[in-house]
Structures are given as structure tokens and as C-alpha cells.
């Protein structure tokens, strides 16, 4: 049987009181070990210009367990604590490679609650999953089947801010194989009025999930604001209500993006998008809420990993490429194009829908990138289309 790529299958589960208490202790110990190791590595570099690796922090963990102050670390499974150190090592590796920021300390209130178990710390037999330090298997809701003869390599337990418990099983999925190749390519223009506009002329409606639940979210937040800081149980209950509304919005948004990205990858060999810097766009406080709701970054991440799964290609066109101001028929570059202009007529007589025209230009630029292997920059001198799409390699023609 052909081995597919690794894929995580996520399910909800409902722990018993004893299991919930054990997992909560594990989350706390994972956070404690991560923070202690981060503190040790930071101090070693600050004071002695010394880098501490995973092996050194693993030895520290052994020593911590023997102290009276941290003896409680022995009460939980050892593997999640070791995995926390590996995650910290990966975080520093990404930081030194300039792929991420410096690791930060985990917060009891704000950080994600999770623990990762490897094969030595769980047992999976006959569809039942039992974790280390637990006598009973987890009560998992199998909303979809695992691949036939699946053998999870890692299991991640997490709890979101709404109090929901999840288990994620990482397995080899033989169903992930390259799809039959075909010559279809499509350009995608992301927007707010329409979530996506395709070069075929199709416009995909923006569901605006956050706006649909805005009244419910505002009501829950008002109730939370009326609870005093020290009002423990009541404030926690109000906080969970807010978290449940946020979770409902995030779930719907994720479902929509999964369906869209799967469709685009299955129907097209090449998908061309814009290389948007969402972090900078969010500085526009008038549009930040709508941009966050559109989740363009999440859309791109899904599109890229699914394209890698199924043998497709995703091309990102330079963010400065003037896709909206360039006529897709004659190549004339208009000097200005305010956001309120949704349709315009070129001097050649072509009447353009702003978004459809942009998607077509993005497609043309992406195909030029694919052919030349260089970045696309906006034209500066002449308005002709060849100049606007010219690559860094002057001998390459679009």
C-alpha cells in the first residue's frame, strides 16, 4: 500500500472528572517546564553568552524533579514534559533562522492548554485511546473515521478557552496522493465585499461570520464587564460565554475556508494569489475588524499545505504588483485607482470590474513568475503590459 503524507485528525472528547483533573495538572506542568527551560536558556545567553540545547534542558528537568519544590512534576506523565522541551528547541531554531520571534513565556490564562504524547505514552487499540497515568480510555466522539489500520505517531490533547476538549491524532493518510494533473490555472483576488474573486469572473460571497454574531458577542462581553475581578465563579462563567461565541465564529470561518481551499486545489493545477502583508493591513483601524474576519492568512496557509499534499502549485505575486490599476486587455497602467472605484473603463474601450480585472492580472503575473522564476514588480516607466509584468531577468518575456 502506498504511504501517504502525515495528517492530523482532530476529535472532541469528554473526559471524566478524574481524567480532566489529570490533564489539567499535566497542562500546568508542561507550562511550568517550558517556562523554566526558557528562563534558563535566556539567562545563560544574557549572562554568559552561552547557548543551551535540548539535551542540557532535559538534564535540568531530571534535576528539577528531584527537588522538593518541583517534586510534583513526577505526578504526571513524563513524555509531555519532554515534548515541551522539544517544542522550545524548535522555537529557538526558528528564531535563530529568523523565521519567528523570540520564544515567550506561557501564561496560565492566555496560552493554549495542550500536551503532546508520543507512542510510549499512550495505547491505541480497537479504536480506544488510553493515555499514560490513566486507567480508562478517553470518551472520543469519532466524527469521521481514521484511515484503515491507522497507527498514530503522536497524540495531542488540548482544551480551548470555551472549555471544550480535543484530541488530535497524527497518522499516515494513504488518501493523500497527488491528483491527476491538468493545465487549469486560476487567479484569486482577496477582498472584503467578496471574500474571493476568481479570474473566471466568479465572485465568492464573504460570509462575514463575526458580523453575524456581533450582537451576541457584544451581549456576552457586556455581561463579562459587569463581573468584578474577584467574582471567581460568576466571572469564569461569563468568560466562557464570550469564549463560546468566539469559538462558534472561528469554527464557521474555518469550515468555510476548508471548503474553498479544497475546491480550488482539486479543480486547478496552479493557483495564483497575492502576497498580502495582513499584519500591516490590520493597522488600518477602520478595516481591521473586517480584515481579521476575512482570515486571508489562514486561507493562504490552508491553500499551501493542501497544494503540497495533492501535487498542485501555489504562486504568490508580489504585493506591490498593480493588479487593480492594470488593464487586463491592453496593458495600460492607470495612475490612480481609489478604493471606491469598483468598475472603470480603459482607454481601449474595455469595461472592467475592479476585482475580476485584478484576478486576471494576478493570474497573468503568476504564470510569468512560473515561467521565469522571479518576482513580479510594478512597472515604473511605460504603461504597456510587457513592462508592467517584466521580470528581474530582462530576457524573460511574460
Kindly state the DSSP code that residue 326 receives in the 8-state scheme: B
If we measure between CA atoms, which residue out of 162, 153, 166 comes closest to residue 118?
153
Residue 99 CA: distances (Å) to CA of 54, 64, 93, 112, 298:
19, 31, 9, 21, 17
Q: What is the pLDDT of residue 326?
A: 86
Contacts for 143-150 with beta carbons within 8 Å, 24 or more apart? 143/11, 143/12, 144/9, 146/9, 146/171, 147/4, 147/171, 147/172, 147/173, 147/174, 147/175, 148/174
Angle at 374 (CA atoms; ends 370, 376), nearest 5 degrees: 95
Q: What is the pLDDT of residue 231?
A: 67
Q: What pLDDT tens digit does each residue of the chain (398 aa) get?
A: 345 689 999 999 999 999 999 999 999 999 999 999 999 999 999 998 898 999 999 999 999 999 999 999 999 999 999 999 999 999 999 999 999 999 999 999 889 999 999 999 999 998 899 999 999 999 999 999 999 888 999 999 999 999 999 999 999 998 889 999 888 999 999 999 899 999 999 999 999 999 999 999 999 999 999 988 766 788 889 999 999 999 999 999 999 999 999 999 999 999 999 998 888 888 888 889 999 999 999 999 999 999 999 999 999 998 888 888 888 888 888 888 888 888 888 888 888 888 999 999 999 999 887 766 554 444 333 333 333 333 333 334 33
Q: What pTM did the predictor assign?
A: 0.84
Q: List beta partners, residue 190.
A: 196
**CA 9 to centroid of chain Cα atoms:** 16
Enzyme catalytic residues: 189, 274, 355
Q: What is the pLDDT of residue 183?
A: 85
Domain residue limits, the chain: 5-173
Q: What is the pLDDT of residue 261?
A: 96
Q: How much is the mean pLDDT over the chain?
A: 88
Answer yes or no: are the C-beta atoms of 164 and 129 closer than 8 Å: no
Residue 395 CA: distances (Å) to CA of 111, 263, 320, 390:
51, 36, 22, 9
Answer yes or no: are the C-beta atoms of 15 and 23 closer than 8 Å: yes
Q: What is the pLDDT of residue 388?
A: 38
Question: What contacts 357, CB < 8 A, 6 or more positions away?
Answer: 323, 324, 326, 327, 328
Amino acid at each position: 500500500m502506498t504511504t501517504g503524507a502525515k495528517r492530523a485528525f482532530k476529535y472532541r472528547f469528554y473526559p471524566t472528572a478524574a481524567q480532566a483533573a489529570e490533564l489539567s495538572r499535566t497542562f500546568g506542568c508542561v507550562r511550568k517546564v517550558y517556562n523554566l527551560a526558557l528562563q534558563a536558556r535566556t539567562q545563560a545567553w544574557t549572562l554568559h553568552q552561552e547557548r543551551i540545547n535540548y539535551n542540557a534542558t532535559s538534564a535540568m528537568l531530571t534535576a528539577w524533579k528531584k527537588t522538593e519544590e518541583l517534586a510534583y512534576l513526577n505526578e504526571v506523565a513524563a513524555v509531555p514534559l519532554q515534548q515541551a522541551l522539544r517544542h522550545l528547541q524548535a522555537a529557538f531554531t526558528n528564531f535563530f533562522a529568523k523565521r519567528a520571534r523570540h520564544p515567550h513565556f506561557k501564561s496560565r490564562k492566555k496560552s493554549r492548554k495542550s500536551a503532546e504524547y508520543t507512542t510510549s505514552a499512550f495505547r491505541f487499540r480497537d479504536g480506544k485511546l488510553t493515555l499514560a497515568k490513566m486507567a480508562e480510555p478517553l470518551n472520543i466522539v469519532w466524527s469521521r473515521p481514521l484511515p484503515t489500520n491507522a497507527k498514530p505517531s503522536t497524540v495531542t490533547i488540548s482544551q480551548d478557552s470555551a472549555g471544550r476538549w480535543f484530541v488530535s491524532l497524527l497518522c499516515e493518510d494513504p488518501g493523500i496522493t497527488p491528483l491527476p494533473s491538468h493545465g487549469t490555472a486560476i487567479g484569486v483576488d482577496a477582498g472584503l465585499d467578496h471574500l474571493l474573486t476568481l479570474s473566471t469572473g466568479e465572485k465568492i460571497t464573504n460570509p462575514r461570520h463575526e458580523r453575524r454574531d456581533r450582537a451576541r458577542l457584544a451581549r456576552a462581553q457586556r455581561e463579562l464587564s459587569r463581573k468584578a475581578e474577584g467574582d471567581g465563579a460568576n466571572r469564569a462563567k461569563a468568560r466562557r460565554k464570550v469564549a463560546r461565541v468566539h469559538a462558534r465564529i472561528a469554527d464557521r470561518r474555518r469550515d468555510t475556508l476548508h471548503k474553498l481551499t479544497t475546491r480550488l486545489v482539486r479543480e486547478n493545477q496552479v493557483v495564483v494569489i497575492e502576497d498580502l502583508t495582513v499584519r500591516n493591513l490590520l493597522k488600518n483601524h477602520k478595516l481591521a475588524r473586517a480584515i481579521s474576519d476575512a482570515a486571508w492568512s489562514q486561507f493562504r496557509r490552508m491553500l499551501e499545505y493542501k497544494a503540497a499534499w495533492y501535487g498542485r502549485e501555489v504562486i504568490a505575486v508580489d504585493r506591490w504588483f498593480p493588479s487593480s490599476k492594470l488593464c487586463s486587455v491592453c496593458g495600460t497602467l492607470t495612475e490612480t485607482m481609489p478604493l471606491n472605484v469598483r468598475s472603470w473603463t480603459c482607454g481601449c474601450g474595455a469595461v472592467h470590474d475592479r476585482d475580476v480585472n485584478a484576478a486576471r492580472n494576478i493570474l497573468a503575473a503568476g504564470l510569468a513568475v512560473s515561467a521565469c522564476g522571479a518576482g513580479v514588480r510594478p512597472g515604473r516607466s511605460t504603461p504597456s503590459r510587457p513592462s508592467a509584468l517584466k521580470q528581474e531577468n530582462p530576457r524573460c518575456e511574460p
